[in-house]
Amino acid sequence: MSESLTQTARILKPLKTNGSATNRELNRICFRFSARIHDLRREGWDILSVREKDGLWVFYLKGHRDDQGKAA
């Protein structure tokens, strides 16, 4: 039996892979993606939200609080 990813994990995946994702991309994964972004932030993920134009938002994954201060 294969395990399915949680909605939160499915939202985190493109952010980790690409470094960013738009609200339109995330909406295809989960209609309440903003709640999952909130959950990720509470888990320590640093996600920057930038409003572009015409209702388009881009979410940038900056890192995790546990990674702060570690050598790159």
| 48: three-class secondary structure by DSSP | strand
Residue 52 lies in a domain: yes
Q: Which domain holds residue 59?
A: 7-64
As a whole number of angstroms, the distance between CA 14 and CA 16 comes to: 5
* 38 domain-assigned: yes
Structural domain count, the chain: 1
69 assigned to some structural domain: no
Residue 72 included in any domain = no
pTM of the model: 0.86
Three-class DSSP category at 66: helix
pLDDT (tens, 9 = 90+) of the chain, 72 residues, equals 445 889 999 999 999 999 999 999 999 999 999 999 999 999 999 999 999 999 999 999 999 999 876 654
Q: Quote the Cα angle for 32-36-37, to 5°.
A: 110
pLDDT at residue 70, rounded to an integer: 63
Chain-centroid distance of CA 30 in Å reads 12
Question: Distance between CA 71 and CA 15 in Å, rounded?
Answer: 21
Flag whether 70 is in a domain.
no
Q: What pLDDT was estimated at residue 1?
A: 44
Residue 1 falls inside a structural domain: no
